[in-house]
Amino acid sequence: MGVLSNCVKPNFLGLLKCLNSLNWFIVFFSLINLSVCIYEDQIGKFDWRQTYVGRIKFSQFDTVSTAKKIIVATEENVLAALNLKTGQVVWRHVFESASTGNIQLLHVTEKVVTVSGSNPYLVRGWDSATGVLLWEWSLTLQNEDHVDFSEWWVQNNMLVHMVPIFGTHIEVTMYNVFNGQNKGASSKLPAPWTNEGCVLSAPYYTCISGDVSSGLLLSLDVTSDAVQLISRPLSEYVSLQSSYVNLSPLDGNSVIPGFTIDNRKIVIIKNNQLELLKVDVTDPSASVTVIESVNGPLVLQAWSDNDFSAVAHSVSTGSEVKELQWSDRELKLPDPEISSALCTKSSREQLVCRILVTAADDSTHLIQQDGRVVWSREEALSNVVAVEFVELPVSDLDAAIESEFDQKEGSIWAAFSRRLQTQIQQLQTIIQGLHKGEGMEEDATSPLVRDYFGLHKIIVLVTEVGKIFGMDNLSGAILWKYYEPNLDTEGVVVFTRRTARHPPNDAYLTVVGKHEESGNGLIISLNPITGALIGERLLQLDVQLLQVALLHKPDNEKLHALILLDKDENVQILPISAAPLVENMYMYVAEKTTATVHGYAILYDGKSLIAQKTWLTHLGGGPGSGHRIVTAARKAPGERVHSPGRGEIFDIDGGALVGRVNNTSLVHTDVVVATCVDAASGAVVAAQAHRRARALALAVHTEHYVAYLYYNDKHRRTEIATMELYEGKQRWLAAGAAFSSLESWRAPSVSRHAYVLPAAPSAAAATTTERSLTDKHILLALSSGAVVEVPWVYLEARRGVGPDLEGVVPPPPAPDVPLPAEARLNYNRTVARPERVYTAPAGLESTSLVLVTGLDLFYTRVAPSKTFDLLKDDFDYYLITIVLGALIVATYSTKYFASRKMLKLAWK
């Protein structure tokens, strides 16, 4: 593209000149291959974006402005306004992801006030309607020692900052919230009774002093000028049997300061007095808050045992409020927490309440007083850790047709009768379809069956919180969800063990993670189409797992077995019956901190599987060298590589490892080393070192090449380096021969190059297609929120070398990788904080499906070699039909007229 645009710029003559000077190929190539952008009317046709905000930390209803909103601040350091009716994001500000973006306080009145960061803090004011920044001032604390326990709140336009120093005193400082003017020095309140179990229910700071039997409940209004300590014996509130009493503040912007004792009793502070409410906490796990209503303040509790329930009582009388009570069996909310609640009186004197509930699975629901869910947001999707694209099953009819061809045995008559039967079946379905079409309105959801081009798939997303989603890739709608609270998703891997191509067997997907507490392996097997647990279901191992691999050979039920290598280097296989299938299976385990890679051969000794250590590589040059592996990239299992004819590509069998090791011992001589290791034999195939560079954990390995990114400290820029492995001009083995790493005694020749990348990438992936015939593009997600497509020809080492044997001319040499605006996949749909890019092949060879995860989800499809197997999107079927029809008519009419003319001539 760059070539062409450079040429077109001046004038037509310039273009002609350019065409003269360039080879025709380049022009051809530029036109066909690299114009990847879409047209205006295609916006949203192949792609969708979903915006998320993250798990809600603070929330408050914006009751002042006309458009009703909920202002939320989240764990992902996002400040956003959600539409009260739909739950959609009205405006959103994404802060820094590091601790500098941590939101400490959200206060909503006419303006939205936030405190973010951690020393220095930034106090900002936002317009609640538009989200425009109104003011900002920063605050740096001199003494950083106890900052972690600091509390913030806003009171009478004053920002209060409180730091308790346990056992001695409390420091309280007040600032003008608009300009940061300090109202004198910070006051130090002597408080030797403070400890780590204290709770703040602004402006009161409450502690339990002493042990349980003789303990005192102490509370202090830290903002009042006169120090008035409220003190009551603890025995007034709890029975003294328990050895430990804990305090917890009320949730959800309680209108009256208060707290719960031992998750049983609710105490509020009124008129500087502690007041025990007549209402007890209904369920130990309940979330309690006090909300204002027309009939006086109400205590609202929400909990979930089997069903999600809520109940409200009047604070003054303790009587139950009938209107505000429900129990919902359908709604599954693990550990619900009331984030925020608001009750108003409707015109018909009815209580209208909106309660924002956040559950442990990070989902957020806005619930009405009668228990109806107005909207839900699955904020777990803002933190996706693993993605798998799963094919859909064929429709029943297609399955019947396919099974017809499967049956090989039987006489010719049997085959004929089967044929007739299926034809009748087809006819029946058509008739049924007609009836349905006439009778009732078909529901809009398309059935979950495979489409002709294989573009319709299910995306299975595993999120950090342990919630697994099944999503329709065309619409982005969530089809099913499964929450496993015990799943620790660090290093989680997902395998499709059986596709939906093998009816009557269901598709089979396995998620291998860790148990939250023990760290032992936790295996979840489910049907990715329905989300139901199948097979091994939820399997909890009693040992920690080192690595997991999928056996390449399926068993009788077309199920690929799972090979589990545990901490003690024992091997298990699931299902056990597949053990005899293990053959020529190797595994490697890379250890991050020690920069060592272990290789294992998985052997079957007739009874069980054993793991034999075969090789060990110290990538850092030995233990204790301070090297560590930044990332390991492996070829997608089952990826086809078409090596013949492409300069005799060296195809590392099964995969290779790119360990990038970073010497952190000396700051100025950081080295980034990329090492290509043959994972079967342990041989180092290629290696490359970059001095004065810092590694980014981004590497792509596909076909015969490796691309990885690092930050060049010397030139202060990001660079992308590539290594390509070739066998040389002669092929090593004949076509169709078996390649074994263990028997290869030659080293491939490596061509390498590094290019400047004028952007800051945060994720990288290569496009994948069904048969790997299509060109490869590298997809880079940039920190600016763009996802760009870089053709591999721009990263090749031979770029600018000249035409190869087949006359293909690579793009002209340049030190940098061009990132034109047309190469941006997500045009103006910025993906906030992109973290990973996932690709999957579609049924069409030309097309690759792409999902970008991060704070947002962005899905699209790319065609690296253009859609050569598909008619253009705007192909005019009508025009071509009309033209064809007209031509046929014209042919026959001219024939008729011509014969008449001939006849007339003959008669003359």
Partner 1 sequence: MSQIKSSKKFKWALDFNQKNRTPTTELPSPPGYSQSANANYTESSKDTDSNLLLIKKLWDVALGPLKQVPMNLFIMYMAGNSISIFPIMMVGMLIVRPVKALFATQSTFKMVEGTQAIGQKFVYFIGNIVNILLALYKCQSMGLLPTHSSDWLAFEEPQTRVEHIGGGMSLI
Touching partner 1, residues 519-538 (CB under 8 A): 519
- Residue whose CB is less far from partner 1, 310 or 652: 652
| Residue 495 host element (H or E) | strand 487-498
For partner 1, which stretch binds (CB under 8 A), given 249-257, 497-505, 587-595, 617-625? Answer: 587-595
Residue 448 as a binder of partner 1 (CB under 8 A): the answer is: no
- Residue whose CB is less far from partner 1, 680 or 787: 680
Residue with the two structure tokens 């139901």: 532
Distance CA(69)–CA(84), nearest Å, equals 5
Helix (H, G, I), strand (E, B) or coil at 155: strand
Residue 17 as a binder of partner 1 (CB under 8 A): the answer is: no
Distance CA(436)–CA(438), nearest Å, equals 5
Residue 587 as a binder of partner 1 (CB under 8 A): the answer is: yes
Among residues 806, 828, 872, 904, the one that binds partner 1 under rule CB under 8 A: 806
Give least dist CB 521 to partner 1, A. 8
Touching partner 1, residues 671-730 (CB under 8 A): 679-680
Residue 634 as a binder of partner 1 (CB under 8 A): the answer is: yes
Whole-number CA gyration radius for the chain: 33
Residue 248 as a binder of partner 1 (CB under 8 A): the answer is: no
Residue 746 as a binder of partner 1 (CB under 8 A): the answer is: no
| Cα dihedral 630→636→637→643 (10° resolution) | -120
Distance CA(785)–CA(834), nearest Å, equals 6
Give least dist CB 28 to partner 1, A. 10
Q: Tell me the CA distances in angstroms from 798 to 32, 356, 612, 793, one per residue in order.
A: 21, 58, 41, 8
CA atoms within 13 A on the CB side of 129: 5
Give least dist CB 866 to partner 1, A. 19
Residue 567 as a binder of partner 1 (CB under 8 A): the answer is: yes
- Residue 623 preceded by cis peptide, ω within 30: no
- Site size toward partner 1 (CB under 8 A) is 57
Distance CA(845)–CA(444), nearest Å, equals 29
Distance CA(773)–CA(776), nearest Å, equals 9
Q: Residue 135: exposed, middle, or buried by beta-carbon count in 10 A (0-12, 13-18, 19+)?
A: middle
For partner 1, which stretch binds (CB under 8 A), given 353-361, 434-442, 572-580, 581-589? Answer: 581-589
Residue with the two structure tokens 């197997």: 869
Helix (H, G, I), strand (E, B) or coil at 439: helix
Count of positions (residues) in the chain: 908
Among residues 24, 405, 413, 745, the one that binds partner 1 under rule CB under 8 A: 24
Give least dist CB 554 to partner 1, A. 13
Give least dist CB 544 to partner 1, A. 6
Residue 632 as a binder of partner 1 (CB under 8 A): the answer is: yes
Distance CA(455)–CA(453), nearest Å, equals 5
- Residue whose CB is less far from partner 1, 646 or 715: 646
Residue 486 as a binder of partner 1 (CB under 8 A): the answer is: no
Listed in sequence order, the residues at least 6 apart from 514 whose beta carbon sits closer than 8 Å to its beta carbon are 487, 488, 490, 491, 492, 520, 521, 522, 544, 545
Residue 733 as a binder of partner 1 (CB under 8 A): the answer is: yes
- Residue whose CB is less far from partner 1, 442 or 490: 490
Residue 542 as a binder of partner 1 (CB under 8 A): the answer is: no
Residue 511 as a binder of partner 1 (CB under 8 A): the answer is: no
The three-point CA angle 732-738-743 to 5° equals 65
Q: How many CB atoms lie within 10 A of CB 620?
A: 22
Residue 550 as a binder of partner 1 (CB under 8 A): the answer is: yes
- Residue whose CB is less far from partner 1, 459 or 562: 562
**Spatial CA neighbour of 639 closest among 700, 697, 588:** 700
Among residues 185, 667, 805, 906, the one that binds partner 1 under rule CB under 8 A: 805
Residue 736 as a binder of partner 1 (CB under 8 A): the answer is: yes
Among residues 637, 728, 758, 812, the one that binds partner 1 under rule CB under 8 A: 637
- Residue whose CB is less far from partner 1, 57 or 598: 598
Contact 97, 854 (CB under 8 A): no
Helix (H, G, I), strand (E, B) or coil at 629: strand
For residue 751, which phi and psi values (nearest 5 degrees)?
-110, 135
For partner 1, which stretch binds (CB under 8 A), given 33-41, 49-57, 329-337, 642-650? Answer: 642-650
Residue 645 as a binder of partner 1 (CB under 8 A): the answer is: yes
Residue 651 as a binder of partner 1 (CB under 8 A): the answer is: yes
- Residue whose CB is less far from partner 1, 250 or 512: 512
- Residue whose CB is less far from partner 1, 289 or 510: 510
Among residues 262, 328, 451, 591, the one that binds partner 1 under rule CB under 8 A: 591
**Spatial CA neighbour of 790 closest among 117, 146, 36:** 36
For partner 1, which stretch binds (CB under 8 A), given 399-407, 415-423, 541-549, 853-861? Answer: 541-549
Give least dist CB 601 to partner 1, A. 9
Residue 539 as a binder of partner 1 (CB under 8 A): the answer is: no
Residue 47 as a binder of partner 1 (CB under 8 A): the answer is: no
Give least dist CB 699 to partner 1, A. 12
Q: Tell me the CA distances in angstroms from 731 to 103, 681, 749, one per residue in order.
A: 60, 21, 12
Distance CA(591)–CA(304), nearest Å, equals 42
Contact 156, 169 (CB under 8 A): no
Residues that bind partner 1 (CB under 8 A): 24, 491, 493, 512, 514, 519, 544-552, 563, 565, 567, 584-592, 600, 629, 631-632, 634, 637, 640-645, 651, 653-655, 679-680, 733, 735-742, 805-807
